[in-house]
Chains A and B, each alone.
Chain A
Amino acid sequence: MSSCSFRVRIALNLKGLDYEYKAINLFKNEQSHPEYLKMNPIGYVPALVDGDIVLADSFAIILYLEEKHPQHPLLPRDLAKKAINYQVANIVASSIQPLLALPVMNYIGENVGEDAKIQWVYKHAAKGFAAALEILLKDHAGKYATGDEIYLADLFLAPQIISLKERFNFDMRLPSTIQVV
């Protein structure tokens, strides 16, 4: 369910890495269960366990995978294009996703009202950031967000686009048609 987890799963699949998937239900607050916290004291989802190493945070996990398993690179070599990918990833990870997270949406629902949730989503996902992404990608998009290969930007965009559609029926229109892997 979590778009953050989805990002990591795309990366693992693209790189052909085997992994055991353990679902943590955020709606049931399973990330706070003692068993999960023992393994991952931070309590965030997703968390990757690679031997002795436990990593939480999708951006950190993906950069770790990129360094440790360089097959099917998720970043272009060209530094300017790489920077575009970092920017897209962080617009999604910092400016969109956190504002739509469950605790925030529950707060809006409880303190303002259920109808306010949709307005909140439109204000934060639509006006600012979809517009920003469209400007940013205008000169770079190809078949995918930053060219003709799937890169980091796509890993962040695709789950966010899907999540916005499924949770809030919001269509994030971007210049390229992002092919969902």
Chain B
Amino acid sequence: MEEENQAMKLYSHPMSSCSRRVRLALYLKGLKYECINITGVGDPELLKVNPMGYVPALVDGTTVVSDSYAILLYLEEKYPQHALLPQDIIKKSINYQAASIVSSSIQPLQNTTLVHYIGELVSPDEKLPWAQNHIRKGFVALEKLLANHAGKYATGDEIYLADLYLTFQLDNAINRFKLDMTEFPLLLKLYKVYCQTPSIQQIFAESSQQQIDKSLFNFTKPQEA
């Protein structure tokens, strides 16, 4: 297959919130890329390109960037169209803080591999309470952080970095972990707006389709409920 320019490639997993954030950013910025869904941990094709073996991993020419936060900041600098960060330094900081709360305080503690490990280490009955507890703590922080800044979206009336993080974390919290959202009216309101937003609907739809299309190794081990 001849390609005029070397198109970007994204190594991704359809249901991973980290991968979906990046796919949403690429979509918003109108960037073409080849989406390569990895089939499982230790995928040889991925390891060739990214020896660390993480997804998402972006290949842009000779540059390989892994870690969604790093990829998003890289994309923001290299492809400034449809800015993902507001100009105002305070609003920009709110976006960074929201992204960090999700990426450091919530996501790592509720990801499938870790939750499964807690199930083995402690008890299978502990998996859900563990995940819900850590999500809830992060959501308490987010609800306060965004209280004075939210508009239609998390930090105003445009989709920014914070929204990329919140959308898929909320999706996990509500749909996978059945978190009671009563304490989080702002976050719930945002989630409803996200579900009505065409660009986000596009990513949700693509993920579902990709999950159906390939019989993908799902990171949960067979025994997990």
Structural contact, A86 and B141, CB atoms closer than 8 A: no
**Cross-chain pairs A/B with CB under 8 angstroms, 17 sampled:** A42-B97, A42-B145, A44-B141, A53-B90, A55-B93, A59-B100, A64-B89, A64-B96, A68-B89, A79-B78, A80-B63, A86-B74, A90-B67, A93-B100, A98-B108, A104-B109, A135-B52
The answer to whether the Cβ of A111 comes within 8 Å of any Cβ in the partner chain is yes
Structural contact, B52 and A136, CB atoms closer than 8 A: yes
Q: A42-B141, A60-B96, A83-B74 are in contact. Are A94 and B104 (CB under 8 A)?
A: yes
Structural contact, A60 and B122, CB atoms closer than 8 A: no
Which residues of B does A touch, CB under 8 Å?
Answer: 51-52, 54, 63, 65-67, 69-71, 73-74, 77-78, 89-90, 92-93, 96-97, 100-101, 103-105, 107-109, 114, 121-122, 126, 141, 144-145
Tell me which residues across on chain B come within 8 A of A108, comparing CB atoms.
Answer: 121
State which of B69, B89, B93, B121 has its C-beta within 8 Å of the C-beta of A90: B69
Which residues of A does B touch, CB under 8 Å?
Answer: 41-44, 53, 55-57, 59-60, 63-64, 67-68, 79-80, 82-83, 86-87, 89-91, 93-95, 97-99, 104, 108, 111-112, 116, 132, 135-136
State which of B73, B92, B100 has its C-beta within 8 Å of the C-beta of A57: B100
With the chains together, A64 CA to B89 CA distance in Å? Answer: 7
Structural contact, B51 and A90, CB atoms closer than 8 A: no
Since A94-B69, A111-B126 are in contact, a sample of 6 more A-B pairs with Cβ atoms closer than 8 Å, ordered by chain A residue number, is A59-B104, A67-B89, A86-B67, A86-B70, A86-B73, A135-B52
Q: Name the residue in B66, B71, B93 with the highest tally of chain A Cβ atoms < 10 Å from its Cβ.
A: B93
Q: A83-B74, A111-B122, A112-B122 are in contact. Are A60 and B145 (CB under 8 A)?
A: no
Structural contact, B141 and A94, CB atoms closer than 8 A: no
10 tightest A-B contacts by CB? A86-B70, A60-B96, A57-B100, A87-B70, A60-B97, A41-B144, A132-B52, A42-B141, A83-B74, A90-B67
With the chains together, A135 CA to B53 CA distance in Å? Answer: 10
Closest residue of chain B to A40 (Cβ to Cβ) is: B144
Structural contact, A91 and B67, CB atoms closer than 8 A: yes
Q: A41-B144, A79-B78, A135-B52 are in contact. Are A87 and B65 (CB under 8 A)?
A: yes
Tell me which residues across on chain B come within 8 A of A99, comparing CB atoms.
Answer: 108-109, 114
Structural contact, B66 and A87, CB atoms closer than 8 A: yes
State which of A55, A89, A91 has its C-beta within 8 Å of the C-beta of B97: A55
